Structure 1
Amino acid sequence: MSVAFVKEPNEDQVEGLPERDLGTEPNFVTDRGLEMLDAEIAKAEASLETAREANDKIAVAMINRDLRYWRARRSTAQLIVPEADSDVVQFGHSVTIERPNGKVQTYRIVGIDEADPEEGLISYLSPLARQLVGKEAGDTVRAGSTEAEIVSIE
């Protein structure tokens, strides 16, 4: 059978698995981000043990690659704790904005690995986060194709 359409590598390809991209930006994290990194490492370690017991060389190679990634992310993590009484948007803050149509949204500015826009968690590298950081309540920022007013900062 041709391997052209096979998603998983075969045993001959295990050695050539590309490493996951660590990026070049600083690895800023919140407390929650550190916990998430630790959980990913623990999960991968458990999966690795299972794959080894099953003698699944392909899974072992893929999990080892993931473990290298998560351990590197953990070792480069820089915990950032925002100033609690700051009136200026910082990494780690939750920011509520109001769009011209009256829609109110709250976003928390977090690290790359924590980002989940559907849950209101945006990477500090995202265009919206870059617009928000350094601003105060009452300021107007570009939010996609419209502008939005910062209503509150927590």
Structure 2
Amino acid sequence: MSRAFTKEDDSNSSIDVGERPISPHRNLVTEKGLAHIDAELAAAHEALAKGNAEADRDLIARASRDLRYWNARRESAEVSRPDPHSEVVRFGMTVTIANEDDKSQTWAIVGEDEADASHGKISHVSPMAKAMFGKSIGDSFVLNDHEWEITAIDTAP
């Protein structure tokens, strides 16, 4: 009999949710970023513990994928603390900038997994952070055809 007319056994099929891509950049993290990774690991472990392998295959697949991702991020995490006496922009600092219209913005430079622009946190590999690195208060940089001046630097992210 041709297999074209047979029903596949769903119980043996695995769910492919795909892997979360791992960044090729150094995994610099703040103390809060490391705590975030640990919280995500705990959540993935909890989801796996709750899951019923027969009923929740999708949940188990997603939790397993997340567990692999967060384990890899935890293993490669490098906690970086800015020098409190530094006068130039570095990872882990909060930087206030102003444009030619005196519109100001404040950004904390954090790790990739803790970046959240809506909360003022940008990744250390973002174009904005890269443009600010090594600059001091009063220095300017151009990004996306706009000139910005660094008006304040704080060592607390």
Length-normalised TM-score, structure 2: 0.86
* Structure 1 moving runs of 4+ over 2 Å: 10-13, 52-55
In structure 2, distance between residues paired with 1:64 and 1:123: 26
- Tell me if 1:114 matches 2:149: no
Partners of 2:137 and 2:54 in 1: CA distance? 56
- CA deviation profile, 1:110-149 (whole Å, cap 9, x unmatched): 1000100111100011100000011000000123330110
The residue that corresponds to 2:13 in the other structure is 12
1:132 and 1:13, CA in 2 relative to 1: closer, same or farther beyond 3 A?
same
Counterpart residue number, 1:29? 29
Partner in structure 2 of residue 96 of structure 1 = 96
Q: Which segment drifts farther, 43-52 or 76-85?
A: 43-52
Task: Indicate the percent of aligned positions where both proteins have the same amino acid.
Answer: 40
Unaligned runs of 5+ in 2: 1-10
CA contact (8 A) 2:53 2:60 kept: no
Pairwise CA RMSD? 1.7
Between structure 1 and structure 2, the one with the greater Rg is 2
Distance 1:62 1:94 in 2: 34
Following TM superposition, by how much is the alpha carbon of 1:53 offset from its aligned partner in structure 2, in angstroms? 7.1
Aligned to 2:66: 66
Matched residue, 1:7: none
Where in structure 1 are there 5+ consecutive unaligned residues? 1-9
Partners of 2:12 and 2:147 lie apart in 1 by 52
TM-score by length of 1: 0.87
